[in-house]
Structure 1
Amino acid sequence: DLHPYLLHLRTTDPSVMVLMAGAMRAHSAVDLLDAIDVPTLVVAAGADVFTPARCSEAIHHAVADSELVTFADAGHTVPIEEPAALVAAIDDFVGRRVDHRPPARGRRRR
């Protein structure tokens, strides 16, 4: 249900939205992506007008050990629009890519 999200957007002061948009546009972590050294699931939404799928695709290409899952008909709120499919994608990724062995004795898992 997108209603609470859309209501929040509608009731947010326009000057706050402008400030947020400027801050988001000025921020970039692209230079940090190649330092990610863990399995990473990148989620893209084909109908997202705030963060187009090409942005997620660029992240996927920059992160060495990443997988990309695209929800073609979803917009910016994939967890709200496609909750079951997103959970299934995460479960699949974690099931295949995360080491489920217990840590060695005397060692703590980070």
Structure 2
Amino acid sequence: MDVRVKNNVRVVGAENGPTVMLAHGFGCDQHLWRGVTHLLAPTCRVVLFDHVGAGASDRSEWDEEKYSTLEAYAADVVTIAQELGLHGAVFVGHSVAAMIGVLAVADQPDLFSKLVLLTPSPRYLDDTDYRGGFSREDIDELLESLDSNYLGWSAAMAPVIMDNPERPELGEELTASFCRTDPACARAFARATFLSDNRSDLARVTVPTLVIECANDSLAPRGVGKYVHDAIAGSELVTLDTSGHCPHVSDPEVTAAAVLAFVDAS
């Protein structure tokens, strides 16, 4: 299977500029990067793709058992980078794709020169001396609701995740993105996302890393960003003065500015 077809890979922007790979989170696809892509493309070569089961990826490649862990998605990232001949690319991962990037970069650091973690969370479940933002009961209820009524769950959760009530069109866009995702694929990806624990993987990252958090984020509270920053040696932490878990959609200008400043830094 051609990886360009499997993951709906697109390459846009400045052919000779630094390469930036953008990876979307749960329930999303590459389309939600469009605001950031527009701002990166004049100076960067931008690689976009859809995780298997999302967007315009080849659904025949999706296997529930295989894609029950984040490692499978990380392996796809590595394959894409290898097939495109990327060396020294900057990987930008949103939400769960941040941890997918951590796994990919830790396993193949020569493929990537830098790592950008946008609203990351290495563990959503609270633990002793760690606040991920959710109790086990919260996660069980979330997954049960997703299983029983995926479309209803999408309509209820998307505005909460976006957290820009004065701009309802943003929540509607995220709802539409959720609804474009096959429910079976979404359920498996949700379990891989919300039940994962990648805290120990953070120390494996050896490339320069930027952690971007939002001032108000219901899925990844402020303390989570600091935890990730503290766990990755030499990383930088930037707090955007914005609300919600998807600043690349709600505030693409400030998100792109933070990414570009890091890409251009020596």
TM-score normalised over the length of structure 1: 0.70
In structure 1, how many angstroms separate the alpha carbons of the residues matched to 2:240 and 2:175? 20
In structure 2, how many angstroms separate the alpha carbons of the residues matched to 1:88 and 1:20? 30
Asked if structure 2 preserves the Cα contact closer than 8 Å seen for 1:41 and 1:69, the reply is yes
Deviations along 1:27-81, whole A, 9 cap, x unmatched? 0111011111110111101221012121111101100121111113221111011
Residue equivalent to 2:204: 35
**Alignment gaps of 5+ in structure 1:** 98-110
Q: Which has the higher strand share?
A: 2
User: Do the aligned partners of residues 46 and 17 (structure 1) sit closer, same or farther apart at CA in structure 2, a change above 3 Å counting?
Assistant: farther
Asked if structure 2 preserves the Cα contact closer than 8 Å seen for 1:74 and 1:82, the reply is no
Residue equivalent to 2:248: 79
User: Do the aligned partners of residues 26 and 77 (structure 1) sit closer, same or farther apart at CA in structure 2, a change above 3 Å counting?
Assistant: same
Residue equivalent to 1:102: none
User: Do the aligned partners of residues 8 and 94 (structure 1) sit closer, same or farther apart at CA in structure 2, a change above 3 Å counting?
Assistant: closer
3-state SS in 1 of match to 2:210: strand
3-state SS in 2 of match to 1:32: helix
User: Do the aligned partners of residues 96 and 7 (structure 1) sit closer, same or farther apart at CA in structure 2, a change above 3 Å counting?
Assistant: same
Matched AA of 2:227: A
Matched AA of 1:33: L
3-state SS in 2 of match to 1:68: strand
What pairs up with 1:47-86 in 2 under 5 angstroms?
47-86=216-255
Asked if structure 2 preserves the Cα contact closer than 8 Å seen for 1:46 and 1:53, the reply is yes
Asked if structure 2 preserves the Cα contact closer than 8 Å seen for 1:45 and 1:72, the reply is yes
In structure 2, how many angstroms separate the alpha carbons of the residues matched to 1:48 and 1:76? 5
3-state SS in 2 of match to 1:46: strand
RMSD, matched Cα: 2.5
**Alignment gaps of 5+ in structure 2:** 1-168
TM-score normalised over the length of structure 2: 0.32
Asked if structure 2 preserves the Cα contact closer than 8 Å seen for 1:44 and 1:53, the reply is yes
3-state SS in 1 of match to 2:207: coil
In structure 1, how many angstroms separate the alpha carbons of the residues matched to 2:214 and 2:257? 16
